[in-house]
Amino acid sequence: MVEARRKRLEGCECGRHLGNGGRKCREACKCGRHDRKRTGPRPNFTGHQRSNESKAKTSKSLKYAYQNGLRVASCAVPNRAELQLLEKLKPFGFTFVGNGELRIGGKSPDFWDGGSNLVELYGRHWHQNDDPQERIDLFKVEGYNCIIVWDDEIEEFEYNA
């Protein structure tokens, strides 16, 4: 422990600063740490706010990991909308690969027929600002045909092989 801190906590009778966290602070405690009130934004669980530079570095490294297959998508099972669409696509040989099983250009499509056809399910909530043509073009460069289906179009959707 740094000498200055040791002197400041010398009169502390609570023992919390010395690793004895179970005891309560007594009224006679003179360390002053228990009188402080927290002001400003509450820090996250690491004890400090992350800078924008730190957030950008994390974002960059995660994107690199996903694009190079070092990390897979966390969605292991299809959601309700994906299950509805899968029922319509199963007769054509499509399977759910949205769990990261298939990676193309750093992206994980939702459904794949085992050949060169892909189907992506876009939800209005998550993909409202996305341009579907970018995803179609990305897969086209890799030699895949991609169809985008919006979540509110599942009922009317019919796949034409």
Residues 84 and 145 in one domain: yes
pLDDT digits (tens, 9 = 90+) for 108-152: 899 999 999 999 999 988 888 889 999 999 999 999 999 999 999
Task: Give the model's pLDDT for residue 1.
Answer: 47
Residues 7 and 30 in one domain: yes
Torsion of CA 24, 26, 29, 34, to 10 degrees: 50
From CA 119, how far away is CA 136, in angstroms rounded? Answer: 10
Look at 15 and 132; give whichever has higher pLDDT: 132
pLDDT digits (tens, 9 = 90+) for 32-75: 555 555 555 555 555 667 788 988 998 888 888 777 766 655 66
| Residue 121 belongs to domain spanning | 80-153
Q: What is the CATH number of the domain that holds 88?
A: 3.40.960.10
**Would 146 be classed as within a structural domain?**
yes
Residues 57 and 99 in one domain: no
Q: Does the pTM of the predicted model rise above 0.95?
A: no
Look at 56 and 24; give whichever has higher pLDDT: 56
